[in-house]
């Protein structure tokens, strides 16, 4: 494993997916609603594990029933503040 990836485990709880890659790919290929390989892989892995997928992506949420995004400000325009934090464009926190 690359040292940078190894370092992320203890810092943010990152772990390598234990599923066989072929199983994830088979599930990803079944996601016919998009041609985006990354969306297919993310949803495919979540589907194999039966997990909830937290995403702001409306297309994924429309097609994968276990995809959620719970944010009352989702429909508002957003902008980054000087520190790079995404905030509603109206200045609310």
Q: pLDDT tens digit string along 32-89?
A: 999 999 999 999 999 999 989 999 999 999 999 999 998 655 555 555 556 655 555 5
Say which residue, 82 or 23, is predicted with more confidence: 23
Q: Look at residues 56, 55, 54, 53 and name the one whose alpha carbon lies nearest to residue 78.
A: 56
Q: Is the pTM of this model over 0.75?
A: no
What's the CA gap between 62 and 65, in Å, rounded? 7
């Amino acid at each position: 494993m690359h040292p940078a990836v190894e370092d992320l485990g203890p810092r943010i709880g990152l772990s390598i997916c234990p599923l066989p890659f072929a199983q994830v790919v088979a599930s990803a290929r079944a996601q016919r609603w998009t041609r985006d390989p990354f969306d297919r892989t993310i949803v495919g892995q979540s589907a194999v594990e039966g997990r909830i997928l937290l995403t702001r992506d409306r297309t994924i949420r429309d097609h994968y029933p276990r995809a959620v995004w719970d944010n009352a400000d989702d429909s508002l325009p957003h902008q980054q503040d000087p520190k790079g934090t995404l905030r509603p464009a109206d200045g609310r926190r």
